[in-house]
Structure formats: C-alpha cells, structure tokens
Copies of this chain bind each other. A is one copy, B any other.
Amino acid sequence: MAGSINEATLLGNLGKDPDVRKTQEGKEIVTLSVATSESWRDKSTGERKERVEWHRVVIFNDALAGIARDFLRKGSKVYLRGQLQSRKWVDQSGQEKYATEIILQGFNSVLVLLDPKREEASRPVSETGTSQSAGDNDDLDSIPF
C-alpha cells in the first residue's frame, strides 16, 4: 500500500528444526532454514544438474511463530511468503557482515504447512527441550539479532 512491493515466496524443506529464541520482552522469534532446489539438464553435456539454495526465514508474527514452533521440524515441507530484509553488522573480529533474510512479520505474511497430517503433528511441543538445534549451521547461527 506504500507504493512498493517487497515479497519473497518459498516452497521448500526445512534443513533443521526451527530455532526458537525469546526477546528480553518474552516475545518468541522463530528462525527457519529452508532449502529450495532447481534442477535442469545441461545443454552442452546433457547431464542433470541441481542447485540448492538455502534461505534464512525469521518469523516475528506471533501466530505464525507458534505454528512454526509447534508443527515444523527438520525435513518439513512449507510454503511461505515474507519480505526481504538485509542486515549489516560487525562481527567479533571487527569484520563487516551482511545477511539477507525473509521476514514474516505483518499481515501480508503467509505460512502453510505441507506435511501430511500425522498424529504427532497435533501434539504440542513440550516446554522443555525440543527446540535446541543440533549446533550445526554455525554460520547462520552466529548472525546476531
């Protein structure tokens, strides 16, 4: 409505469990690592090629964050739409870093779970445990908020 459009739309799979953090005010923020892939046949060699792209998705919208936390897991298929937003910061070694994320925040945000319904899907996540991710993905994890 502001005269411009900024949207990123993904249909892909989670590379790991959602990462759940809490702000100092107690608001939950959920971060996803989503893979999309495209494949094509190389015109010259004829071989099948695949390119995988990893996207960092940050969910500020409370309702969507809760859904993501409770129902998405490593491997889950998801459809989502948010805004592109870039952040710049200086890391511990004084180097300037830059990251682009897909932010699900306002009303235009979309998150649709595409996993087939399983019984477990409706069980809420226990308060303790579950959302600590395995510690992999250090590069993305190290991005300050």
Give the interface of A toward B (CB within 8 A). 1-13, 35-39, 50, 53-55, 63-64, 67, 77, 79, 83-86, 95, 97-100, 107-108, 110-116
A11/B4 in contact, CB under 8 A:
yes
**Minimum Cβ distance to chain B for residue A50 (Å):** 8
Task: Report yes or no: B79 in contact with A11, Cβ–Cβ below 8 A.
Answer: yes
Nearest-Cβ distance from residue A143 to partner chain B, whole angstroms:
9
Interface hub of A64, A67, A107 (most chain B Cβ within 10 A): A107
CB distance from A13 to the nearest CB of B (A): 8
Q: Which residues of the partner chain B approach A55 to less than 8 Å between Cβ atoms?
A: 6, 84
8 Å CB contact of A100 from B10, B39, B77, B100: B100
